Structure 1
Amino acid sequence: MTARTAIVLFTRDLRVHDHPALATSCAAFDRVVPLYVLDPALAGLSPNRTRFLHQSLAALRDALRGRGGDLVVRHGDPVAETIRLAAEVHATGVALSADVSRYARRREQRLRDECARHRLHLRTFPGLTVVEPGALKPGGGDHYRVFSPYHRAWARQAWRDELAPPCRVTLPTGVVAGRLPALPPGESPDAVPGGEDQARRRLTAWLPAQPRYADRHDDMAGDETSRLSPYLRFGCLSPLSVANRVDDRASPFVRQLCWRDFYYQVTDAFPGISTDAYRRGATENWRYDEDALAAWAQGRTGVPVVDAGMRQLRHQGWMHNRARLITAGHLTKSLGLDWRAGVRVFSHWLLDGDVANNSGNWQWVAGTGNDTKPYRGFNPVRQAERYDPDGAYVRRWVPELAAIAGPAVHQPWRLPTPPDGYPPPLEPPGPTPTWLR
């Protein structure tokens, strides 16, 4: 009897643990060909993420080889390369994890069309979220627009079973795996490395701190967050596995995983989330000031907590979540600049930058998204005094202010002598805000 062969097309699911497409294919087919296609259309979008991706692919290849298989690496259009490989190995099926971005949806539809034309069976699987986008719908709507009711439904939802990695991955004879390119340089000198083993070690090391998450996660200097977001973005960790390790659906940390799922289901229903205002009737009277945007992106706004966040971003390819809210709020609410410009800057630097969460959170801050109070004010000094009360976070990332003790570091423009080498605050449009007077 002829051996049955399937291709598993890896995308943002670079792991072997709890991988529904891989596990199901290995159980149902005699031969399985894991494939990753390096798409030149995505090259250069983020040097940091490109480096992290290549590290993650190397780790995935090692994991597959340890199970008797390998990772086939091709360059080009993912759809064309998948169909070409299917012909080479006489595959009858193709499997991949479903995704929600506009790019991913177009790729999936093109792949579906080509598989039908070549008489290949295409099956998509969950795996990028805890609960699949579209699985939860409110009465009379296609998706949840507000987080709180979504969270209630999400917490009640039965989760799928977590899957063990396949014991063995059997390749067809004669498959040429191809080489991974040389590891490219990133731009952030202190970016964490990618890969499933790195991700699992980070999760294990952080779990003892999880009970403190509710009280400490907003402490910018204490840095008590999990830092798992880059690994979730590339699928080096299964979000379901992470939620199961915490083992408490009511915990504040698992609630953050729900926020992630929330924006995935929003993006599934509204794929233009990175370019179009989500909220109906949103007012977008943005101004355009390239000098102000550049100062913000470089951490030279003259507002220390904002500059600290942006410098952390450039140095680590990551930023504390509270700092993300502060820096985004300053760009849109204080400086009046378009949130889309902020999306692009974050997307360039962030290891964890993805369409759903990056764009969804930016729209929430800017008042064009899912915030039920879109016109709330913003005070970066008050935020800094609350979440970095002693100024340790600012002093770490803004060395020009390292000699200023205590909370005075948050308002250097009030000092008798301005600090050397540090700019005064950018002038916001309109009346001077109270925090700057």
Structure 2
Amino acid sequence: MSVPVGSVVPVESVVLGVDCADVAGLAGCGEVPGVVVLVVEPGGVAGAEVVRVLEVVRGVLAEPGLGGVRLVVVTRGGMAEVPDPASAAVWGLVRSAQTEYPGRVVLVDVDSDVSVGSLRGAVSVALGCGEPQVAVRGEGVLVPRLLRVGGVSPEGSAVGVVGPVWDAVGTVLVTGASGVLAGVVARHLVVEQGVRRLVLVSRSGAGAEGLVAAGAEDVSFVLCDVADREGMAEVLAGVAEEYPLRGVVHAAGVLDDGVLGGLSGERLAGVLRPKVDGVLVLDELTRGLDLSAFVVFSSVAGVVGTAGQAAYAAANAFMDALMAVRRSEGLAGTSLAWGLWAAEGGMGGGLRERDLERVSRMGIVPMPVAEALGLFDAAMGLGRACVVPARLDMAALRERAAQDDLPAILRGLV
């Protein structure tokens, strides 16, 4: 949504380089600037860009001599209508950093053609709005707000929308098939959507059981890392020509939660691999196929930003952006940025008590499986690149709003 431009804040800014050398230099200089700026150029490799930003953000926020410095992370086109996925991943990472270091970090997106000389002005305008995340577009400023989407009832059922045709003749590929949510959705596709042929892929080779008894005619369980291009090419080559691949559900993912200060490049890479590398492999290998659905399981963490989940937020924000890119090119693409499922054994089940309390304080509460599956069907018919199927505790959000403690992105709901 658009917001009024406030007073322009004059800043003494420093554009940081590729590594943390400049951070150490800033801490040792006589006059520490009030604002430092890190610019992320579009078109980079997601993992490399996120690691670079992680190092700088962590360096600035953890350096005692820079305790009064505000860090502005600027992307070019990361929040455009057709976003740069690598820059969007940076937004996911920094959104989580903002929750861990309130008031210390600002996210700014500018048009891809904004000159280096104009960046100072864009940053000044952004800071004048007092918002943690802004997109400067010409003379105007846009801010992100999560809003209810039309066509879905509070119970999660579709209202006057028609979902994609899950082809009863073709084949649907499901990744992360050993996970609880993938298994639940695979069964739902068979029982409720008429899918009869499934290829279930996981790194353990296990998958949902009982699908044939539920009505499936052919179910294949395949041991493969979805990020292994050669292996996935073999999997797709094994799909029978008479039952071509018509749908993809990418539900693979791993968690490795921890605060920003303890997040290493190695840990970050481990979280990015199944999400970012995996979706890129699937995107590349299926572009020549006639898919009616290409669905990725993302997370609200990438949209809102959750403390202790910077790597996971970055990975999911990348997938959200890639689905927008696919749709802009006329391809199927839907990212479901899930809230918590009340499914025993799911990723939410791995959260510690304090993590669940933190998520609950954000106003996100677990959804019963039946409700989540209803939202799955409803969301698929909305024709949007990214939706957030989640159950929210509105009373908790109103209480935070009354205390002026509600994250900006949720203000449109209260």
Q: TM-score range by the shorter chain?
A: under 0.3
What is the TM-score when the length of structure 1 is the normalising length? 0.26
Task: Point out the structure with max Rg over C-alpha.
Answer: 1
**Structure with the higher strand share, 1 or 2:** 2
